Amino acid sequence: MIYLDSAATTFQKPAAVPRAVLQAMRTMSSPGRGGYESARLAEETLFRCRKSAAALFSVPSEEQIIFTMNATHALNIAIKSLVRPGGRVAVSGYEHNAVTRVLHALRTEVIVAAAPLFSPQETLEAFEGALKAGVDAAVCTHVSNVFGDILPIEGVAQLCRSSGVPLIIDASQSAGVLPIDCKTLSAAFIAMPGHKGLYGPQGTGLLLCGGEALPLLQGGTGSESLRQEMPDFLPDRLEAGTHNVPGIAGLAAGIDFVRAQRTERILLHERQLLRRAGEGMGRIPRVSCFFARDEKRQTGVLSFTVSGMQPEQVAEQMASRGIALRAGLHCAPFAHRTAGTLPDGTVRMSVSAFNRAFEIDAMLFSLREVAAARGRGEIS
């Protein structure tokens, strides 16, 4: 199988990641729950992961790094810390359901700062207008999970600071690929999964806290146990219950991999593959792709369609040829509405540090076969 669905989860992991998971399962128990060796090892592993993440993302203090189950968990904490039921929030036109469903559940008035794909200036103008409406918070994805569009997050952050509006950044598609500097952005929260560009196991995520946070869960923390309120200090305030120690051990190994490879090298590699794919698709009849003319506006995520075929049908045909892609709405109907690809959506390919040029060539060969078969009427 040629795996080209890393925007969902990076399937290929550094060898150190599963080794770290297995080692944790064999040697570590619960951190902060005892003074014995296995508890101490678990505590050291959590601290090492926080320290490595703080270095990668320029977080002032390790205590501001919160372990979560995934980016959705992190976004729920962030949004519910800042947005009251019935409040008003500005969002980009490319948000994931991990954001929009939370806002819907809060009965929030959502002001969408919609702009065409790969149009940073228009995006900033849309956000500037949305912020004037008097909002409780702004939420902006750093990179569209559907199109790989890099939103002008530094400019959005500056607009929010100037307007006194707290900003939540969804870094699900950018963490480990693009530079993220918490000190420069000064966002209230930055949410990210551990299992995508950070190459950790599924079931891991991070919330980088730059503002006041409210607990989403209440429970044991191993600290201040006499009190019935959650501790008022981080990270304990937001980390109720037993930690996913094996997952965090694997995440630490994944972050170490990213730091060793350097995000700029990973991004360059992904863009080279994306250019190969985008230019190749441009030469295949019946195929249309959403490829930025300026490569600085896109990461390693590329959506496309085949004339006369449903996206799911294309993905099924490609899967039968050993190519793993994602089709449909990608849990992001806002993005498809903004880009004009509703109701059917697109087919998405996405790469990682482990993909190679020959895999892109094989994908293009298979796609040409599928498109040609549809043109001959062999696929209805």
Over 80: is that where the pLDDT of 81 sits? yes
- How confident is the model at residue 64, as a pLDDT? 97
Please report, rounded to a whole number, the percentage of residues in the chain having pLDDT higher than 70: 100
Give CA 115 to chain center in angstroms: 20
**Averaged pLDDT, 219-242:** 90
- How confident is the model at residue 233, as a pLDDT? 85
Element (H, E) at 349: strand 346-350
Q: Is there a contact between 257 and 349 (Cβ–Cβ < 8 Å)?
A: no
Q: Which domains does the chain have, with CATH numbers?
A: 16-261 (3.40.640.10), 262-375 (3.90.1150.10)
What value, to the nearest 5°, has the Cα angle with vertex 335 and ends 333 and 341?
80
- For residue 204, which of 168, 245, 173, 233 has the smallest C-alpha distance? 245
Over 90: is that where the pLDDT of 332 sits? yes
Contacts of 319 (CB under 8 A, 6+ apart): 325
pLDDT-derived band at 32, boundaries 50, 70, 90:
confident
- How confident is the model at residue 68, as a pLDDT? 98
Task: State the average pLDDT for the chain.
Answer: 97
- How confident is the model at residue 171, as a pLDDT? 98
Pair of tokens at residue 49? 């992961």
Over 90: is that where the pLDDT of 243 sits? yes
Residue with tokens 């249309």: 288
Beta strand pairing call for 167-170 and 137-141: parallel
- How confident is the model at residue 223, as a pLDDT? 86
Flag the least confident range among 15-24, 166-175, 223-232, 234-243. 223-232
**Averaged pLDDT, 181-207:** 98
- How confident is the model at residue 339, as a pLDDT? 97
Helix (H, G, I), strand (E, B) or coil at 326: strand
- How confident is the model at residue 376, as a pLDDT? 86
Task: Report pTM.
Answer: 0.97
